Amino acid sequence: MAVPKKRTSISKKRIRKNIWKRKGYLAALKAFSLAKSLSTGKSKSFFVQQTNKQVLE
C-alpha cells in the first residue's frame, strides 16, 4: 500500500535549489567566456573561419 513520504525540510529544499541555480550560472559563465574568446580571436579550442568584410566609407 502506498504511504505518503515525509515532508522535505525548507533548508534541504533551499540547498537543492541553490545547487540547481549554480549549475545554470556556471554554464552561462562558461558560454559567455567562450563567446568572448571567439569574438577576440584568442580561442584555442575552436577554429572559426574568418570572413573579410569591407567597410564602406
The residue ranges of every structural domain in the chain are 9-36
Q: Which of 16, 38, 36, 17 is nearest to 28 (CA)?
A: 36
Query: What is the average pLDDT across 5-10?
Result: 90
Is residue 17 predicted with pLDDT exceeding 90?
A: yes
**pLDDT in the model for residue 14:** 96
CA distances from 11 to 2, 16, 17, 39 (A): 26, 9, 10, 42
Question: Is the pTM value of this prediction over 0.95?
Answer: no
Residue of higher predicted confidence among 41 and 30: 30
